[in-house]
Amino acid sequence: MNKSVRYTSSPLLASKTPVWRSKLIVGGIALAFLGLACRAAYVQVFGNDFFQRQGEVRFARTLELPASRGRILDRNGLILASSVPAPSIWAIPEDVEASAEQLAALATLLDMPLAELTKKLANEDKSFVWIRRQVDDPVAQKISALGIKGIYQRKEYKRQYPEGATAAHVVGFTNVEDRGQDGIELRFNKDLSGRAGSRRVIKDRLGRVVEDVGEQVPPMDGKDIQLSLDSKVQFVAYQKLRDAVLRHKAKAGSVVVLDTITGEVLALANYPSYEPNKRQNLSGEQLRNRALTDTFEPGSTMKPITVGMALEAGRITPKTTIETGPGRFNIGGFTINDTHNYGTLTVEGVIQKSSNVGSLKIAQKMTPREMWDTYTALGYGQKPQIQFPGAVTGRLRPWKTWRPVEQATMSYGYGLSASLFQMAHSYTSFAHDGEIIATTMLKSSEPAVGVKVFSPENARAIRQMLQMAAAPGGTAPLAQTVGYSVGGKSGTARKQVGKGYASNKYRAWFTGMAPIESPRIIVAVMIDEPSDGNYYGGIAAAPVFSEVVQQTLRMMGVQPDMSVKPQIVTPAVVESF
């Protein structure tokens, strides 16, 4: 039988507890509950934003929804650059669970050594690692079928360039982040890129999406850019240029084709080139857009401009006679030579025979300021206004610093520098009846607005002289083509090395137009360092001009203006330097 507890018999229980102690305990408990209530109120109400953000940092993610980059098209709508799905493979190393066979299969699909793949997955401290960026979609599907835990894919796009090396210098390329790095891809990167969308989600610790939160912002795909370039003309220009560079054992070459009505760039080709789809081990020699970035002394192609400015000033006429004998001229302690003693020539003959002495004597009828004004009006010494990165300015010193010998040498293209594109652009003043027109890399159906430099009569007179220069008896009869009349000017110049000129390194070029009575296109060709012995512009560059002109005009539907095949002969004389 249990005995009842007698409180009076227990000294501890029988002792009287102070009232303040019990109140203190009760008060402490009440304060604790009050503190918890305040904390709960702070967490749930007053400080809710902070804790909400902390929770989102740990579990909520904003996923970027990539936009598809816009296409680059030629003038006929043919694709020059487009984006195709190319998922990127990534992993959470600490979560990867795969058998040896699965890892070997993954390495094979990625075309990656197994040791390299194992090394990427070895560091378990990493919560994210790229395995391979932008794989082909079929490969990504096979990787997904392996079912390896911890291996994931991210949707991305990869650029494809169907025209390859042919149009590489125009189109350019993007990096792995799909940002433009060169050419049109760089110049119009903002328009092509579009705007990425977003998706707000809740993820678990394994990175899996368990819930969508908020509204999804859809991506806005980039705009398409349609160029003035004609893929067929570009292919012909590149092919003929490549053949000439290889045939003459040259270092490089460039071709520019302009529409004389709209100012559109129909072709801009360089060799050597590169494959934008495969850019491993590229060099600056391959990447350089020489037609726009390389400058050189234009040489004899400046002689028609010298004659044009003197005609415009009323100092000469096409039939004015110039004494060039005995084939040399002393000025300022320097001797300027022709390749032959041409004796007395008309102004037309100065262009036909490419006489340096004749050119400088015509220039002496002008002031330096008059020459400088014409050069600048034609775009020399100025950066080309074209939608393309990397175009250079060239060099044209202020007229006040010219010495008499420098004024003389500039008359035949020494002492100033320009790119091949600038040379082609300046010739629009002859082709467009005295007006120099704006050029564009974008398709345009409107006639270009020109700025008057020469009168229509003087422009036509220059075209007739250019026709004589490209005909038998001139310096470039190899520029003649079947069915179309042509005119143009060849040039050959020693390359500058240090403060002097190399004795065995040359640039050869030819700039001309066709048909000559009503020009439709301008074609400029440059061959850099031909080393087979044929380094004159009339031999190395003029045949490329001929082939490009003939095929381009036919593709454009321009009717032939000649019913007989012109006589093509080897030039009896060569142009002066």
Q: What angle do CA 334, 336, 337 make, to 5 degrees?
A: 145
Kindly report whether the peptide bond that precedes residue 515 is cis, defined as omega within 30 degrees of 0: yes
31 Cβ contact list (under 8 Å, min separation 6): none
Q: Output the CA–CA distances (angstroms, integers) from residue 495 to 58, 149, 208, 382, 488, in the order listed.
A: 65, 63, 64, 22, 22
Find where tokens 């072709």 sit. Answer: 267
User: Helices 114-122 and 100-109: crossing angle, nearest 10°?
Assistant: 110
Q: Output the CA–CA distances (angstroms, integers) from residue 418 to 20, 204, 256, 490, in the order listed.
A: 102, 62, 14, 15
DSSP conformation class of 69: P
Q: How far is CA 502 from the centre of its chain?
A: 31
- In total, the chain counts a number of residues equal to 577
Catalytically annotated residue among 82, 231, 273, 300: 300
82 catalytic residue (yes or no):
no
Backbone phi, then psi, for 252, in 5-degree steps? -170, 180
Bridge partners, 511 (sequence order): 489, 524
Bridge partners, 307 (sequence order): none
Q: Are 70 and 194 in contact (CB under 8 A)?
A: yes
End-to-end CA gap in the chain: 136
Find where tokens 């390859």 sit. Answer: 164
CA distance 391 to 274: 19
Structure tokens that stand for 260 in this block: 């004389």
The residues annotated as belonging to the active site are: 300
